[in-house]
Structure formats: structure tokens, C-alpha cells
Chain A
Amino acid sequence: DAGVIQSPRHEVTEMGQEVTLRCKPISGHNSLFWYRQTMMRGLELLIYFNNNVPIDDSGMPEDRFSAKMPNASFSTLKIQPSEPRDSAVYFCASSLHRGNTEAFFGQGTRLTVV
């Protein structure tokens, strides 16, 4: 398996623009997570899905952020409108929702909002 695949790897956008980050989880995994990593706050869980259903989105910072998982092999994280403080590395991870499992991470998307 190719692992968790994220795109794009790098994104530079202007403040106010819409940004869409994409994630393809490992085939067969039924849990998917979006994390944000910054120097100030470390690694924060934004939202996670189980069987394509959002279970906990309490980490989503505000209404400008939204995430979808239309099927088992694809998820998006959208920021609209983007702001400079959204600049961070966004990681997607997937796992088997079975209790005793670890999460596998993608390479991340480095977002810069100018």
C-alpha cells in the first residue's frame, strides 16, 4: 500500500482565498483524522471520521473550516476564506477503528497564507 496520500504537498495562497486539502487514506482503514501542526500549538486534532461519518469536530477552529468524507477513499479539508493564521502543516491520518490500532500519517500539506 502507498500509505496515506495527501495533496498538495505545498500550498501558497492569498488571504481570503479558498483552500482545499485532499487526503486518500490507506485502503481498508475506516477511521480518518485531520491534524494541524504549528510551532505554537503543536499537533492538534481538528476532526475525525469513522466510516465516513464525522464523529468529533470539536477541534475545528471556526466556521471557516469544513471537512467532508464523501466515500471511504477520499476526504477534503476546506478553509474559506483563508487567513494568515491558518498557515501550518496539515496532516491526514488513517487507522482501523478497532480499539487497539495506531494511526498512520500522510506526508502533510504545508499551507502558507500570505
Chain B
Amino acid sequence: AQSVSQHNHHVILSEAASLELGCNYSYGGTVNLFWYVQYPGQHLQLLLKYFSGDPLVKGIKGFEAEFIKSKFSFNLRKPSVQWSDTAEYFCAVNPYSGAGSYQLTFGKGTKLSVIP
């Protein structure tokens, strides 16, 4: 079964600092990759997704992620964070199987705290 590792449990940054959250997955085949964000007290919302094509994916609110197949990684980046980015971020992987099964597996999440 696939697994997802998020390297940092809690990241604390000052406003305007750059952000990079690590995500690695274990699965040898084709995958669909996602980053979800969960603001305090809210549900998970999709930040960005990768299915195929350009490995550099741009999402909402200035976030982007780069899929590096050789490293089984899908790191999330933002050049300048804001206080409103304080949230928990989840990386998720779904092995692509066409019309087959759907096994969306999440990492443990990384809490981001942005200090004004």
C-alpha cells in the first residue's frame, strides 16, 4: 500500500518568509498528487493538484508544488507567506488506476504558524 510522509510536524515563520513543506510518497506507479489545506476549525480544501503534464503546478493563494518523480516528492512552496496562511497542510496521493480503485492516502499533516 502507498504511504505519504510529511517531514515537518510544525513550522513557524514570520510574515513574508518563504515556505517549503516537504512531501514524499511511496508508490512505484503513476500517481495523482494533491495538497489540501485545513484552516482552524474548518474542513479540508483543495490547494492544488497534479495529474500529468508540467510538474510545476500552481494553485490558489500563490501556492505552487513541484512533482519530482525521481525523488517521489511533491513539495509545496510559497515565496512569501501571510498571517492568513496559518493552517494545517496535508499532502495526499492517489495511485492512478484509470477507472479502478480510489485510495486517497493522506500524510500526517504539517501545521504552519505565521507570526505577524
Chain B CB within 8 A of A114 CB: no
A97 to B94, CA, bound (A): 12
Q: A97 and B106 in contact (CB under 8 A), knowing A102-B34, A102-B46?
A: no
By a CB distance below 8 angstroms, the chain A residues around B44 are: 43, 91, 93, 105
By a CB distance below 8 angstroms, the chain B residues around A50 are: 102
A55 to B108, CA, bound (A): 23
A107 to B41, CA, bound (A): 9
Query: Once the chains bind, are B43 and A100 in contact (CB under 8 Å)?
Result: no
Query: Once the chains bind, are A95 and B102 in contact (CB under 8 Å)?
Result: yes
Seen from chain B, the residues whose Cβ lies within 8 Å of a Cβ on chain A are 32, 34, 36, 42-46, 49, 51-52, 90, 96-109
Seen from chain A, the residues whose Cβ lies within 8 Å of a Cβ on chain B are 31, 33, 35, 42-43, 45, 48, 50, 55-56, 91, 93, 95, 97-100, 102-108
* Cβ contacts A to B, 21 pairs, < 8 Å: A42-B106, A42-B107, A42-B108, A42-B109, A43-B44, A45-B105, A50-B102, A55-B101, A56-B101, A93-B44, A95-B102, A97-B99, A99-B96, A99-B98, A100-B52, A102-B34, A102-B46, A102-B49, A103-B104, A105-B36, A105-B45
